[in-house]
Amino acid sequence: MNDSPGWAVPGPSPSDGERPGASDGQGGTDGAPPQPSQPAGGQKWSAEQPPPGEWSSPGAPQAPKPPQQQPQQPRPGPGWGSYGGPQGPEGGRYGYPGGPGQWGKPPAAKPGVIPLRPLDLGEILDGAVATVRSHWRSVLPITLVVATVVQVISVLVQKYALADLAVTTDPEASLQDLLDTLGGAMTALVANGFIQLIGTIIATAMVTMIFSRAVLGQGSTIGQAWREARPRLLHLLGLTLLMGLGGAALVVVLLLPGILLRNIGLGLVGGLAAVPLLIWLGIKFSLASPALMLEKAGVITSLRRSSRLVRGSWWRIFGITALTGLITAFVSAVIVYPLTALGLAIGLADGGVSGLENGTAATGWAPLILAAVGAVIAQTITMPIQAGVTVLLYVDQRIRREALDLELARAAGLENYGSDPAAPPTGG
């Protein structure tokens, strides 16, 4: 943890100040006021003493005593209750928001985009959006450059590699022609997918470093993010390829019995079984990327770390991840689909209905460029949000399980954080 580039800023340990209620040499312990000493000779004062300012001479008639009124206790403020806190005066108990039997949450330090305590769904999403909004000079240029390079290469591949692979309706086309067409298409798609993978890895690594500093309330430049992310890029590539190859191997193993036995039903059962297994493994190892980047762990170690952090919280992480995917998919659709439809309309206006039959309507310059522009805008916005949610989920799980908030507060330079025994706990 101390080697993590995101929050390994040296800082003092929480000071061991005097605990409240410690003896100071002037009175009793536990903050009790000093008791008055007894008079000389062992004589005790009377238990009923007249109030100050009402002494009278001996033999004078005594005025009737006014009835004593109990001092009114102050009413607790909103959000404070009478259960769950340490013992207070008059037998009551102090409470704090978010304590047992309380509404709300305990107050927590917030040096950066999130409070240093276990987070809920709204705080995770808000932290991701707040980071993009407050650090946009560092985040958006990274995703914009990566998305632009990826989409330019994608347009060139679709224009010059896939344009000749027109859809044919000739029933007499030979098997060799179909295999050549399929092979060319697969080669172009694999090359395009590999370029997108490299771009996504670079953007994810740099954005992860920016988010790790935003948690501490620190800014990060593009050059600083690149210097911190560059040593981990090959590890992150290896992790991504290992997870991809592992998922593909799982699908092949489940489909293999149906293929060998030439049983379509068995193949369908294997394919249906592969879907939930892939989702389960994807969530189980979803926190491996931030663990690899921020803890400088190896590929296998980061997979184990993710498995331990997700254990017991699989459904919660799945729900947050799925909701984030739905939100980003909706935002992307709102941006991409109108521009794609406009490009197709321009292609139909140029080539007519025959463009749909031979596939040239979708491979013209206007449809490709407009679709690429929409994809660039959508990826520039959604890519950092998805990466940020993953990083904040990682931070949240470590706060719940390992009290990471203490380390983060120390790295952020907060004095005496967590040293007050009366403060509500922040660890899970």
The mean pLDDT of the chain is 75
Residues of the chain with pLDDT > 90, as a percent, come to: 47
Output the pLDDT for position 186: 74
The structural domains of the chain, with segments of one domain joined by +, span: 132-406
Residue 164 pLDDT exceeds 90:
no
Output the pLDDT for position 196: 87
- CA dihedral in degrees (105, 106, 109, 115; nearest 10)? -20
Output the pLDDT for position 59: 45
Q: In angstroms, what CA-CA distances link 308 with 58, 291, 398, 400, 427? A: 82, 11, 10, 12, 17
Q: pLDDT grade, residue 399 (50/70/90)?
A: very high
Which among 316-320, 342-346, 361-365 has the top mean pLDDT? 316-320
Residue 231 pLDDT exceeds 60:
yes
Instruction: Please provide residue 397's backbone torsions phi and psi, each rounded to the nearest 5 degrees.
Output: -65, -35
- CB-facing half-sphere around the CA of 4: CA atoms within 13 A: 24
Distance, in Å, from the CA atom of 291 to the CA atom of 289, rounded to the nearest integer, reads: 5
DSSP string, 392-419: HHHHHHHHHHH-HHHHHHHHTT-TTTT-
**Which is more confident, 418 or 426?**
418
What confidence tens digit (pLDDT) does each residue in 232-249 have? Answer: 999 999 999 999 999 999
Q: Are 210 and 138 in contact (CB under 8 A)?
A: yes
User: Cβ contacts of residue 69 below 8 Å, gap of 6+?
Assistant: none
What confidence tens digit (pLDDT) does each residue in 39-85 have? Answer: 444 444 444 444 444 444 444 445 555 555 554 544 433 333 333 33
What confidence tens digit (pLDDT) does each residue in 362-378 have? Answer: 677 888 899 999 999 99
Instruction: Please provide residue 337's backbone torsions phi and psi, each rounded to the nearest 5 degrees.
Output: -60, -45
> In the chain, what's the furthest Cα-to-Cα distance?
134
Output the pLDDT for position 32: 41
**Which is more confident, 75 or 349?**
349
Which among 36-50, 84-98, 271-285 has the top mean pLDDT? 271-285
Q: Are 143 and 378 in contact (CB under 8 A)?
A: no
Output the pLDDT for position 170: 52
Nearest to 98 by CA among 115, 113, 111: 115
Nearest to 131 by CA among 114, 113, 119, 109: 113
Q: Are 21 and 31 in contact (CB under 8 A)?
A: yes
Output the pLDDT for position 15: 35
Give the single-character DSSP code of 87: B
Output the pLDDT for position 179: 64
Q: Are 88 and 398 in contact (CB under 8 A)?
A: no
Place of tokens 């007050």: 420
* Cβ neighbours around 259 below 10 Å, total: 13
Residue 204 pLDDT exceeds 90:
yes
Q: Residue 96: helix, strand or coil by DSSP?
A: coil
What confidence tens digit (pLDDT) does each residue in 119-155 have? Answer: 999 999 999 999 999 999 999 999 999 999 999 988 8
Q: Give the 3-state DSSP-derived string for 137-166, with helices as H, strands as E and coil as C.
A: HHHHHHHHHHHHHHHHHHHHHHHHCCCCCC
Residue 115 pLDDT exceeds 90:
yes
